[in-house]
Amino acid sequence: MKTKQLNKPELLAPAGDLARAKTAIRYGADAVYIGGRSFSLRSRASNFTYDDIREICAFAREYGAHVHVTVNIIPHDEDLDGLAEYLRFLQECGVHAVICASPYIMNCAKKYAPHLEVHCSTQLSVTNSSAVRFLKRHLDIDRVVLARECTMEDVRRITAEGGVPSEAFIHGGMCVNYSGRCTLSNRMTLRDANRGGCAQSCRWQYHLYQGKTELTKQDDLFTMGSRDLMCLDHLYDLMEAGVASFKIEGRMKTEFYIASVVSVYRRCIDEILLKGGPLDADRMRMYREEMRKSENRDIWTGFYDNPDAQDSIIYHPNTNVDVNHDFLGTVLSYDKTAETAVIQTRNPFAKGERAEILSPSGTYEPFVFEWMKNDKGEYMEISRHPMAEVTIPVPSAVKAGDMIRRSR
Amino acid sequence: MKKIFVRCADTESIRLYRESGADGVILPLSGYAFSPCDCFRKEDLDACIQTIRDMGMEVYLQADKLFSQNEMPVAEALLREPGVLSADGIFFSDPGLFAAAEEQGIAGRMIYDPQTLMTNGKDMQWWLSCGLKAVVVSPLLSAEEITHLGIPADQYMILGHGYQIMSVSRRPLLSLYTEGKDTEILKNRNDIRIREESREGFMPVYEDENYTIVYMDAVLTSVPEVCALEQDGDVQVIINAAFLPADCVSDAVRTYRTAESENARECEQALIEAYPGIAFTKGYYENKTVK
């Protein structure tokens, strides 16, 4: 078995709002990346107010975590007003890094907020070390986010030869096209993908023609929707390659998704570090099973080991086909004396059903709903309504923010 | 004054473009460019460039692919080819290729053409400060935005006419779809189109060994916009010949060459009416894309 001195990579999680950012950090993310209400892609994600940014920076400091802020629009001239003030504000809050795609924005960050690291966004589709050296020489970037089109060999060599710490995607949604260079959404909906409005038109259905002859059938239309990335099996290789940061995609994703995915990667990375080498097949199978408990589309392992992109497109309309767990609720409080928890519900569940607790400690403790009470103290047979407060008995101490999930 | 460049799709039509008034051609280099054209190989460049020069035209090369780590040595070697060095300029989109050009002292011949990324004057100024020859403006800018870029006209080019690239994927999207189906191989073909199920437009799609390109469902045309920019000084406009008949491209060149501000709309309308089978669009020149 090959072993090598491994450096601990940063586990970088997405967060669409304050609650998700705190969840990501509680569940083991070393850093979160968030978007403000200006200058950021994913404008439909519930982006952070100035107060939110201050709060998450303070929260992250308590946990020794970092906050990265996406300033990654491909701006038109009209979008640049207020940029310097915004960058100064981020620096004052204690933000660690800004993720940028525009050279002008990168230069402004260096000029107006020199304590911020500047990370070159994947929107620039960096696929070779010459490009990295160019960006370092001319823009003094502090990190490069590699294009998702990179193979493992590309990652190894760019990381070794680029002269700048690298960041690689390990999980989540993938653009089918080179990032930043797609105008499908613009053409179909007039929504600018490079300014946060991507309508994901690549995932729509298309008729395919050769000349005037249609090649598609109505029940089997052409599409370009990518499977999601899932790189548990490449974590060791990426660590061995010296990648500085492992990035999870998904600022639009739910709190449950963030908790589940971050938790699995946190445990897997830590176990690889502890062992100093790749994990055996049984352990990896266990982690893959754990990952299936969160809501993912069909998955593939990206270009890392599949440069021909075989089986990388989803041709059926159903998503989450492999998901085998439902999110039932989040713990609001715990009564040590009564050994009960009040949870805020999300999906229906009934007395007698089996569930498990997902906690930041990484344990997945099973239990049965032996009884449940509503917020008036009345016993219930079934909890049907989302966002209700329900009291349940729990087998061990839980904390606010722990989550309850159920096997399908 | 206008300078008109045709991004070629074949060798045979170049003389026709010259006769119609084109000032130069852009040759997509086979294996180095995002292009459905496979006829310009680096081995043949010397002779090809000489022939075009003899017609009195400028010659530019298109090498705008994004290069993987393993491809970089080949890309760097391209910049040492005599034929390549004799060209008037090289269109690129990979900063790695520009880095190689810097090292070889030919940065001043490079033209940055990253499709969508050149959307504001400040980024353009930054790239120009790196010493390159020119930048190509994103097709996502409105005509109004282009007039306010604040960049000297001889340092930027606009995509004025033809089918525009909408997306480039590293994946063989047609092959992945047809795999296991009783369908002809769709790679390297110029007659493949897709149509979104609720829309009318047909989008050309081209797949080769390295990528799949999807083009806009209509031909961009911008005669009045180009003429308006000409009022402010020189304007450099690119006409993309891909997927268009040579006579249509030739007529477009002639129209852009002869149109003046006063009659630009009439000239454009005449061009559109001459090709009733082709859908035309103003792209984002009039209809600004929103956030």
Position B58 pLDDT exceeds 70: yes
Are A257 and A391 part of one and the same domain?
no
Residues of chain A found within 8 Å of residue B140, distances taken between Cβ atoms: 183, 186, 192, 194
Average pLDDT over residues A41-67: 89
Cα–Cα distance between A229 and A227 in angstroms, integer?
Answer: 7
Q: Which range marks the domain in which residue A388 is found?
A: 325-407
- The pLDDT score that the predictor gives to residue A3 is 58
**Strands B219-220 and A403-407, bridge-based pairing:** unpaired
pLDDT digit string, tens, across residues B229-249 = 988 778 999 999 999 999 999
Return the residue of A nearest to B212 by Cα: A177
Chain A residues lying within 8 Å of B68, measured CB to CB: 127-128, 149-151, 154
User: A300 and A333 share a domain?
Assistant: no
Contacts of B99 in chain A (CB under 8 A): 130-131, 133-134, 137
Same domain, A86 and A14: yes
Distance from CA of B22 to the nearest CA of A (A): 28
> CB-CB: which of A74, A133, A134 is closest to B119?
A74
Residues A257 and A393 in one domain: no
Let me know if residue A90 belongs to a domain: yes
CB atoms A130 and B170 under 8 Å: no
User: What pLDDT band is residue A42 in, cutting at 50, 70 and 90?
Assistant: low
CATH number assigned to the domain comprising residue A164: 3.20.20.70
Write the pLDDT tens digit of every residue in A100-145.
Answer: 999 999 999 999 999 999 999 999 999 999 999 999 999 999 999 9
Are A86 and A61 contacting, i.e. CB atoms less than 8 angstroms apart?
no
What pLDDT sits at residue A297? 83
pLDDT number for residue A30: 98
Between A376 and A199, residue with greater pLDDT: A376
Do both A282 and A251 map to the same domain?
A: yes
Rounded CA gap, B59 and B40, in Å?
12
How many CB pairs below 8 A link A and B?
Answer: 203
| Per-residue pLDDT at B291 | 66
Taking only the tens place, the pLDDT of each residue in A12-22 is 999 999 999 99
Per-residue pLDDT band for A47 (boundaries 50, 70, 90) equals confident
Tell me the average pLDDT across B83-109: 96
User: Which residues in chain B are closer than 8 Å to A194, comparing Cβ atoms?
Assistant: 116-117, 119, 140
Domain count, chain A: 2
Give the sign of the dihedral formed by CA A304, CA A307, CA A310, CA A313: positive
**Cβ(A183)–Cβ(A175) under 8 Å?**
no
Q: What confidence tens digit (pLDDT) does each residue in A137-192 have?
A: 999 999 999 999 999 999 999 999 999 999 999 999 999 999 888 889 888 888 87
Paired strand residues for A327: A405
Q: Are A64 and A140 found together in one domain?
A: yes
Tell me whether residue A296 is in a domain: yes
- CATH number for the domain spanning A403: value is 2.40.30.10
Q: What is the pLDDT of residues A329-359, one digit of tens each?
A: 999 999 999 999 999 999 999 999 999 999 9
User: Of A273, A304, A335, which residue is a domain's last?
Assistant: A304
Q: Helix, strand, coil % (nearest 5) of chain B? A: 35, 20, 40
Rounded Cα–Cα distance for residues A366 and B226 (Å): 69
Who has greater pLDDT, A215 or A325? A215
CB contact under 8 A, B169 and A224: yes
Give me the residue from B100, B166, B184 closest to A130, CB to CB.
B100
Which of A134, A303, A314 would you mutate first to test chain B, the one with the most B CBs within 10 A?
A134
Q: Give residue-wise pLDDT tens across range A55-109.
A: 999 999 999 999 999 999 899 998 999 999 999 999 999 999 999 999 999 999 9
- Please indicate, yes or no, if residue A193 is contained in any of the structural domains: no
Contacts of A37 (CB under 8 A, 6+ apart): A47, A48, A49
Q: Which of A364-373, B9-18, B109-118 has the lowest mean pLDDT?
A: A364-373
Residue B253's pLDDT is 98
A76 Cα to chain B: minimum distance (Å): 5
Q: Are residues A26 and A158 in the same domain?
A: yes
In a domain, A311, yes or no: no
Q: How far apart are CA B162 and CA A318, in angstroms?
A: 37
Residue A46's pLDDT is 59
Residue A19 inside a domain? The answer is yes
Residues B56, B90 contacting (CB under 8 angstroms)? no
Which residue segments constitute the domains of chain B, with CATH numbers given?
2-163+220-281 (3.20.20.70), 165-215 (no CATH)
State whether A44 and A151 are in the same domain: yes
Q: Which pLDDT score is estimated for A275?
A: 95
**Chain A residues within 8 A of B94 when measuring between CB atoms:** 127-128, 131
Q: Do B66 and A194 touch (CB under 8 A)?
A: no
Is the residue at A5 inside a domain?
A: no
Nearest by CB to residue B291, choosing from A149, A197, A221, is: A197
Please report, as a single letter, which amino acid is at residue A44.
R
The reply to whether A221 falls in a domain is: no
* Residues B176, A202: C-beta atoms closer than 8 Å: no
Residues from chain B that touch A103, judged by Cβ atoms under 8 A, are 123, 126-127
Regarding whether A89 and A41 lie in a shared domain, the answer is yes
The answer to whether residues A158 and A273 belong to one domain is: yes
Mean pLDDT of all residues in B205-224 = 96
* B202 to A209: CB separation less than 8 angstroms, yes or no: yes
pLDDT tens-digit series, residues A178-233: 988 888 988 888 887 777 778 889 999 999 999 999 999 999 999 999 999 999 99
Same domain, A259 and A380: no
Provide the angle, in degrees to the nearest 10, between the axes of the packed helices A152-161 and A129-139.
40
pLDDT at B208: 94
Are residues A252 and A384 both part of a single domain?
Answer: no
Contacts of A157 in chain B (CB under 8 A): 69
Domain boundary among A241, A272, A304: A304
Q: Using alpha carbons only, how large is chain B's radius of gyration in Å?
A: 18
CA distance A339 to A328: 19
Amino acid occupying residue B272: I
Question: Which pLDDT value is given to residue A198?
Answer: 83
| Pairing state between β B58-62 and B89-92 | parallel
pLDDT at A1 over 60: no
% of chain B surpassing 70 pLDDT: 100
Cα A217 to chain center, whole Å?
35
pLDDT of residue A189: 86
Give a yes or no: residue A292 inside a domain: yes
| DSSP, res B40 | B
CA-to-CA dists, residue A301 to A141, A203, A237, A280, A393, angstroms:
28, 19, 13, 18, 40
Q: A304, A335, A363 — which closes off a domain?
A: A304
